[in-house]
């Protein structure tokens, strides 16, 4: 794979490109509105949904509060059950650990369960550099991989593609990676799925090493959990001889009983199903059944940095359901690539700066601003991450990281702060703007209702007036009217 | 609390609030020391720049029974953001003052329905209207159906449902210029839904959102007028 998020432009520029892609706009509007309706229907039938959300948030918060203890407990129980536990501080360490396992078994390919953590660390490229092919087996990840594309959604990485495009990708590229697509392939979902099934089957049966992530890791029992829809995960988790799982350290839940809450919250929030088709759980090695060599890589890669952020640490509650993406009016229009990360949408807008730190690169610093702060994400989040509040806090961190700034925006904010410093000063500014409005006389258009409109404003104001009308400043401000009449002239 | 945008750009909305509240027998004052709640700075990340505005805010409004704002967004900022900005200032006096003023801030429809206990405010407005629930009134304050209950009680008014009403219009404060392309893409869809209703007037409780959607509707020569909720509720026979 050569596609990469590295070097992506800041959000406003990337969004401008994406907004011009009319096919993608249609695909996303259709897909997100369908999944929004499904989610709303299955969430509304749960009477204690709000209690479940509160419970989910509380379990995650308590776990994060004592994360060190729970992690050691997990390592202990995993080791006791025959797994080998590795600790990775960053992406490079994690990739090296996985590559090392593959190399020791002398394989040139691994099969992969859909996993955000492995995409986050760029595992496929790292393995390719070692001459090891990593085959994605999730249908949407397969579409992305075959198309040399980038994922644009957490749950449905190929959400930006429609059926016709998928047919085209299969016909053109499946042969390069293994069994070709049938030449008479149509864009019927059942035919597309069958082509993928046949293509993947030979990989499942051949591969000696599998790589997965985990949706949850139970500290008490040393159980890892993968929740999926297609059954490809079950194949990867049971057929190969060796299994390596890359698990973010925030995936922990203390006990098996805690899973109860999340297995109710996750499917309804993500796919809009009451229950997902496949839930696989495993703990270490079971002699004679499934992989006989099991490795678990516990991944930090910025998570402890996020944990240190008082407001932002709630982002580590995230269970990667994608509900916030599906309800986000920004995501619906720009799609996921504009966010320049494997984690797009509202959660990506906070998670990326929290994991990478602010004030480091322009692209990451642009993400907290990629939101109108409408709050739909917070409302949908199954673990009650207050994304708008975290966005606003991260914006303050971005601004503070660049102080003192001479950017036009910073100067404008300082000027506005001064103008708004007292009612008298604001009144003076209003008298000037009212005068300017009057000087324009009766030129220009009129809005419905009779207000005179301003023409095009030069400079940064053009970002408004290029696309939207703006009323001319009124001759008399409210303040001036009140002073003149005491509020009693009508 | 008329809000800075109404004071400087949409004084008719502020005057309508005064007219409406007078008609309902409320003793209205406009403390001339008020300026802006600080939300534009806070939401853009300029917290230090917001602190002086917060001082002005508490100086102007401390001591009143109720502070009424014709804006879900500004009321939301006062109720949900001021405490954090005050803490950042490190000034215990400001923190204490915010604790007194914040809970007394009401968005207009909240004040009318919850505090005054009215739904029929005696308005007459013989037009077809559609209503856009602004995000901060809907999701930050939770005003629910208060605005539409008020509108349904207006004599002569026909209220038509707005498709996808709860989706953001795309204004978002400085988002409207920092991410102008995305903002306009969202606003264009909102404007399309407004036109689909066939309404003559789009009503909302925030002049900022109306400035954005109204700016698009007017640029499209749609003929749809935008009005603040207060203007419709203040309208009476002969004046409409």
Contact B56 A378 (CB under 8 A): no
CA distance between the termini of chain B: 25
Q: State percent of chain A over pLDDT 70.
A: 99
Instruction: Give the mutation candidate from B38, B166, B179 for the A interface (greatest A CB count, under 10 A).
Output: B179
Q: Determine the distance in angstroms separating the CA of A449 from the nearest CA of chain B, rounded to an integer.
A: 6
Taking a C-beta distance cutoff of 8 angstroms, is the pair A449, B226 a contact?
yes
Considering only CB atoms, A372 lies closest to which of B2, B49, B168, namely B168
Q: Determine the distance in angstroms separating the CA of A248 from the nearest CA of chain B, rounded to an integer.
A: 30
CB pairs under 8 A between A and B: 222
Interface of B with A in 140-169 (CB under 8 A): 140, 166-168
| Average pLDDT rounded to a whole number, residues A57-82 | 98
DSSP sequence for B188-228:
HHHHHHHHHHT-SEEEES-HHHHHHHHHHHHHTT---EEEE
What ipTM was reported for this prediction? 0.97
Q: Determine the distance in angstroms separating the CA of A12 from the nearest CA of chain B, rounded to an integer.
A: 5
Chain B residues within an 8 Å CB radius of A483: 32
* pLDDT for B240: 45
Q: What are phi and psi of A87, to 5 degrees?
A: -115, 130
Alpha carbon distance B109, B115 (integer Å): 10
* pLDDT for A490: 61
pLDDT digits (tens, 9 = 90+) for B175-222: 999 999 999 999 999 999 999 999 999 999 999 999 999 999 999 999
Contact B45 A477 (CB under 8 A): no
Q: Determine the distance in angstroms separating the CA of A267 from the nearest CA of chain B, rounded to an integer.
A: 24
| Average pLDDT rounded to a whole number, residues A189-206 | 97
| pLDDT of A411 above 80 | yes
Residues of chain B with pLDDT under 50: 240
Contact A15 B179 (CB under 8 A): yes
Contact B215 A470 (CB under 8 A): yes
Query: Measured between CB atoms, does B37 come within 8 Å of chain A?
Result: no
pLDDT digits (tens, 9 = 90+) for A82-104: 999 999 999 999 999 999 999 99
Please state the length of chain B.
240
Considering only CB atoms, B30 lies closest to which of A395, A469, A482, namely A482
For A490, the closest chain B residue by CA position comes to B19
Q: β-pairing, A223-228 with A216-218?
A: antiparallel
* pLDDT for A489: 73
* pLDDT for A4: 80
* pLDDT for A2: 52
Q: Determine the distance in angstroms separating the CA of B25 from the nearest CA of chain A, rounded to an integer.
A: 13
Chain B residues within an 8 Å CB radius of A330: 179, 182, 186
- Spatial neighbors of A378 by CB under 8 A, at least 6 apart, are A384, A385, A386, A387, A388, B139
Q: Determine the distance in angstroms separating the CA of A448 from the nearest CA of chain B, rounded to an integer.
A: 5
Contact A395 B45 (CB under 8 A): yes
Sort residue B63 into left (φ over 0), alpha (ψ -120 to 50) or beta: left
Contact B211 A471 (CB under 8 A): yes
Residue indicated by tokens 């393995």: A127
Considering only CB atoms, B44 lies closest to which of A375, A413, A460, namely A413
Q: What is the pTM of this model?
A: 0.96
For A379, the closest chain B residue by CA position comes to B139
Alpha carbon distance A75, A360 (integer Å): 33
* pLDDT for A59: 98
Residue indicated by tokens 């692209």: A363
Chain CA centroid to CA A473, Å? 41
* pLDDT for A1: 43
- Three-state secondary structure call for residue A109: strand
For A335, the closest chain B residue by CA position comes to B182
Contact A423 B60 (CB under 8 A): yes
Interface of B with A in 68-107 (CB under 8 A): 81
Of the candidates B186, B236, B210, B208, the residue with the CA atom closest to the CA atom of residue B130: B210
| pLDDT of A429 above 80 | yes
């Amino acid at each position: 794979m050569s596609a990469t998020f590295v070097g992506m432009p800041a959000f406003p520029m990337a969004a401008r490109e994406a907004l011009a892609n009319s096919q993608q706009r249609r695909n996303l509007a259709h897909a997100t509105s369908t999944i929004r309706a499904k989610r709303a229907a299955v969430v509304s039938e749960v009477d204690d949904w709000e209690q479940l959300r509160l419970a989910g948030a509380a379990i995650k918060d308590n776990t994060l509060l004592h994360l060190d203890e729970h992690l050691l407990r997990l390592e202990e129980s995993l080791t006791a059950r025959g797994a080998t536990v590795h600790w990775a501080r960053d992406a490079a360490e994690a990739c090296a650990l996985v590559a090392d396992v593959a190399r020791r078994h002398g394989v040139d390919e691994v099969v992969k369960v859909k996993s955000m953590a492995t995409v986050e660390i760029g595992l496929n490229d790292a393995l390719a550099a070692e001459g090891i092919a990593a085959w994605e087996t999730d249908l949407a990840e397969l579409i992305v991989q075959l198309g040399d594309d980038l994922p644009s959604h957490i749950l449905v990485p190929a959400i930006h593609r429609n059926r016709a495009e998928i047919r085209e990708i299969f016909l053109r590229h499946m042969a390069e990676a293994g069994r070709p697509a049938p030449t008479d392939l149509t864009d019927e979902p059942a035919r597309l799925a069958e082509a993928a099934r046949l293509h993947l089957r030979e990989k499942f049966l051949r591969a000696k090493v599998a790589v997965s992530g985990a949706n949850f890791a139970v500290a008490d029992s040393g159980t890892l959990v993968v929740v999926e829809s297609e059954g490809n995960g079950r194949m990867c988790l049971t057929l190969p001889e060796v299994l390596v799982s890359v698990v973010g350290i925030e995936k922990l839940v203390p006990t098996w009983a805690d899973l109860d809450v999340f297995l109710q919250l996750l499917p309804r929030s993500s796919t809009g199903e009451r229950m997902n088709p496949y839930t696989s759980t495993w703990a270490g090695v079971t002699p004679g059944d499934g992989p006989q060599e099991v490795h678990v890589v516990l991944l930090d890669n910025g998570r402890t940095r996020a944990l240190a952020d008082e407001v932002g640490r709630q982002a580590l509650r995230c269970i990667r359901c994608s509900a916030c993406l599906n309800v986000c009016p920004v995501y619906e229009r720009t799609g996921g690539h504009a966010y320049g990360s494997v984690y797009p949408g509202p959660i990506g807008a906070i998670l990326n700066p929290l994991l990478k730190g602010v004030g480091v690169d322009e692209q990451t610093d642009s993400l907290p601003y990629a939101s109108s702060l409408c709050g739909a994400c917070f409302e949908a989040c199954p673990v009650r991450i207050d994304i708008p509040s975290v966005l606003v806090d991260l914006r303050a961190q971005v601004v503070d990281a660049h102080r003192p700034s001479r950017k036009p925006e910073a100067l404008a904010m300082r000027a506005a702060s001064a103008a708004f410093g007292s009612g008298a000063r604001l009144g003076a500014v209003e008298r000037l703007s009212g005068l300017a409005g009057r000087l324009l006389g009766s030129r220009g258009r009129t809005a419905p209702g009779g207000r005179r409109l301003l023409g095009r404003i030069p400079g940064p104001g053009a970002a408004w007036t290029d696309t939207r009308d703006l009323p001319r400043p009124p001759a008399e401000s409210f303040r001036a009217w009140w002073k003149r009449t005491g509020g009693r002239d009508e | 609390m008329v809000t800075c945008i109404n004071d400087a750009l949409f004084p008719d909305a502020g005057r309508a609030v005064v007219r409406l509240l007078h008609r309902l027998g409320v003793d209205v004052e406009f403390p001339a020391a008020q300026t802006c709640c600080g939300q534009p700075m806070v939401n853009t990340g300029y917290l230090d720049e917001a602190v002086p505005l917060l001082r002005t805010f508490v100086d102007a409004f401390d001591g009143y029974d109720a502070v009424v704002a014709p804006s879900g967004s500004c009321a939301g900022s006062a109720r949900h953001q001021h405490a954090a900005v005050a803490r950042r200032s490190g000034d215990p006096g400001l923190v204490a003052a915010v604790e007194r003023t914040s809970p007394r801030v009401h968005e207009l429809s909240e004040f009318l329905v919850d505090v005054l206990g009215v739904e029929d405010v005696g308005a007459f407005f013989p037009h077809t209207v559609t209503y856009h629930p602004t995000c901060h009134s809907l999701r930050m304050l939770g005003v629910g159906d208060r605005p539409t209950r008020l509108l349904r009680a207006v004599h002569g008014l026909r209220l038509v449902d707005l498709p996808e009403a709860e989706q953001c219009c795309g204004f978002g404060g400085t988002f409207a210029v920092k991410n102008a392309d995305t903002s306009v893409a969202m606003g264009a869809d909102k404007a399309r839904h407004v036109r689909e209703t066939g309404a003559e007037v789009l009503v909302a409780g925030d002049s900022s959102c109306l400035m954005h959607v109204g700016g698009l509707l007017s640029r499209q020569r749609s003929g749809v007028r935008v009005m603040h909720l207060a203007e419709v509720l203040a309208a009476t026979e002969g004046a409409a």
